[in-house]
Structure 1
């Protein structure tokens, strides 16, 4: 128990430190909105972190009179407030940083706590599905470089879920195998499972390329790869700890890339697809997959599906052409998402 509390305290300190770092210098207004049960506490702790970093900081209370709303600006301070009532009454220059605390969608029973993905307009989104293990899931590029937060926060998100991932999602093994069968992977080829997670698809990839082929699973999270060791051993597959945005392969080294759930986790989809194209031989294949259709995934997150989203057929076809691919299949029924792209010469 002590270790868990210590780890959670360190995680909160890391998140609060990053939040403090993205607040621009000079006078700034920061509003924390979202989860009712935590936004006041998070605002208090963020204000304390800013002060510890040497920033002049004013914690605006719910009942502060309107005349005091902008007085802090003259001193170059940071004002930290919380709640929709404050968000609806911004400072004269608007809120510099809007932090949204995201929880489970309303369908999961958390609607009264401000849950769901109602984060539109937020500059920073913090995942609080587990209040003891916060994870930053989005930061506007104008506030800080993606490399400052993306890798560490992605690892934190999946590390906390690795041990229970297959218990929650292992029922979709057949869907993974069917997707591999339909993707036309070459016998004897080299196939990379980019973002392999717990390695569920590795046996199906081995069956597709046969005994003479090469199968490699790659993930950024050590805890996921630890779980993947058993299926990797059964499939005679290699495992690599690496970032899919910077693959440790020479150009044109693989025949196919299977990417389950990877594309939407990339902070820059165009750059990510170009890197996947770099390591794929001309004529090779990229197989983005998810065991639920896009509409089903959107509904689980409490939002409506939008036609201009990156994995919609039209936008994905355009992005593929720009990044060295040609989309040859796009299948998006409720029970799964499967696309196949061919690497241009």
Structure 2
């Protein structure tokens, strides 16, 4: 068993913001546990699983819950009594050996930790098949990227985690992805937006679509850039001013616009970041006028993006064509085009 280590890179101490970030993540994970006895397994590579397991155990103990911490190195053949569910305690184990020790149904919470050198398919174990996925690319700044809604409703964790994920990337976003502007321009041109209309860029980030959207609707049209992360809107401010775009801080799942407001909605990379694509597309349909267009875009195709993230495509992913066609149909849209070559993803739907 181990204690609650405060392991950070040598010579580096946690700032107040970093400490708060850890507390927020651990509180969300703790909320996913039943009040009774529970068993948790944390897996991953590069030591991230042990770090998260240690800190979760420490957070639970600080809240008054009894914990048994089973380290990967101590995975023995006997139970040593830790599987006694009559005891009101939380068992937290880390590593693939503990994960494989019991059937998946025996664990109340399974967590996959993604680190820079980690492979999300390591050992045939996919991070996207677990209850929770935590990014630990920066050990001072953990972010939950998935949490099963049967354990914790998305409304509880999505806002804080989405903002934390993009806040840390806002300042360098254009430096990393600035050469995508021609792809954005082509995506908007192909969508056939009408001059003079109202177009919303939902999940606008730093505003890479603003120039093309302004060209599409012309000087008499309206362009609104919507994002959940204040730091992204700060990074988008200069571009918004240059292209006459109004910036709005809002959640794509609860937009502050009246019904049938927009002639078009542009959404680059949005759907895969939403915990419930049906709810998100329903909200976009609410604010779209009949006949309005929805443009779903990403400057990489699905297969290329999956390969870059070290995973393989699954047929049930939100942007797989059969899935997207069914989702759009039940949320008020009709999918009219779908294109997924290696260099981009581009789909257009029309509001019923």
* Length-normalised TM-score, structure 2: 0.91
Q: Following superposition of structure 1 onto structure 2, how do residues 10-25 of structure 1 map, counting pairs within 5 Å?
A: 10-25=20-35
Task: Tell me the distance in 1 between the aligned counterparts of 2:313 and 2:111.
Answer: 23
Aligned residues of 2:68 and 2:82 also touching (Cα < 8 A): no
- Please give the alpha-carbon distance, in whole angstroms, between the structure 1 residues aligned to 2:287 and 2:309: 33
TM alignment of 1:242-261, pairs within 5 A? 242-261=250-269
Equivalent residues in 2 for 1:258-273 (5 A)?
Answer: 258-273=266-281
Q: 1:118 aligns with which of 126, 129, 143?
A: 126
**CA apart distance, 1:23:** 1.2
Structure 1, 221-230 or 85-94: larger mean CA deviation: 85-94
Q: 1:209 — aligned with what?
A: 217
CA distance in 2, matches of 1:184, 1:198: 23
Is the CA contact (8 Å cut-off) linking 2:120 and 2:126 kept in structure 1?
no
| Residue of structure 1 in register with 2:326 after alignment | 318
Decide whether the 8 Å contact of 2:337 with 2:348 is kept in 1. yes
Contact 1:117 / 1:302 at 8 angstroms: preserved in 2?
no
- 1:90 counterpart residue number: 102
Name the CA distance, whole Å, in 1 between partners of 2:159 and 2:111: 20
Cα distance between partner residues in 2 of 1:70 and 1:36: 26
| 1:21-65 Cα distance to aligned partner (Å, 9 max, x none) | 211111110111102322222212111111111111111244265
Is 1:47 paired with 2:51? no
Instruction: Give the match for residue 335 of structure 2.
Output: 327
Name structure 2 gaps, 5 residues minimum: 1-10
CA–CA distance in structure 1, aligned partners of residues 224 and 13 of structure 2: 34
In the superposition, the TM-score normalised over structure 1's length comes to 0.93
Deviations 1:123-162 (A, max 9, x none): 1110112221100011111211111100110000000000
Alpha-carbon distance between aligned partners in 2 of 1:301 and 1:337, rounded to the nearest angstrom: 16
Tell me the residue number matched to 1:164.
172
Distance of 1:209 and 1:115 partners within structure 2:
50
For 2:180 and 2:135, the matched residues in 1 are separated by 25
Partners in 2 of 1:306 and 1:41 — Cα distance?
Answer: 29
Question: For the structure 1 residues 197 and 28, does the alpha-carbon distance in structure 2 shift closer, same or farther, using more than 3 Å as the test?
Answer: same
Change (3 A) 1:127 1:2: closer
1:192 to 195, 200, 208: 200
Q: Residue 254 of structure 2 contacts residue 283 of structure 2 at CA under 8 Å; is this kept in 1?
A: yes
For the Cα contact (< 8 Å) 1:23–1:97, is it kept in 2?
A: yes
User: What residue in structure 2 maps to residue 32 of structure 1?
Assistant: 42
Where 1:267 maps in the other structure, the secondary structure is coil
- SS in structure 2 of the partner of residue 75 of structure 1: coil
Unpaired runs of at least 5, structure 1: none
Counterpart for residue 3 of structure 2 = none
Q: Is structure 2 residue 14 aligned with structure 1 residue 7?
A: no
Tell whether the 8 Å contact from 1:103 to 1:117 is kept in structure 2 after alignment: no
User: CA separation in 2, counterparts of 1:113 and 1:317?
Assistant: 28
Give the Cα–Cα distance (whole angstroms) in 1 for the partners of residues 200 and 27 of structure 2.
Answer: 36
Paired residues of 1:294 and 1:332 also in contact (CA < 8 A) = yes
1:72 deviates by 4.5
Q: 1:76 and 2:78 equivalent?
A: no
| Deviation sequence 1:196-220 (CA, Å, 0-9, x none) | 0001111110111000000000000
Root mean square deviation, CA, Å? 2.3
Whether 1:63 aligns to 2:71 is no
How far apart in 2 are the matches of 1:168 and 1:84?
Answer: 34
**Deviation digits for residues 242-261 of structure 1 (CA, Å, limit 9, x no counterpart):** 00101111110110000000
Q: Superposed, which structure 2 residues align to 1:273-288 within 5 Å?
A: 273-288=281-296
Inter-CA distance 76–189: structure 2 relative to 1 (3 Å threshold): same
Superposition deviation, residue 298 in structure 1: 1.0
Q: Residues 91 and 49 of structure 1: is their aligned pair in 2 closer, same or farther, counting only changes over 3 Å?
A: farther
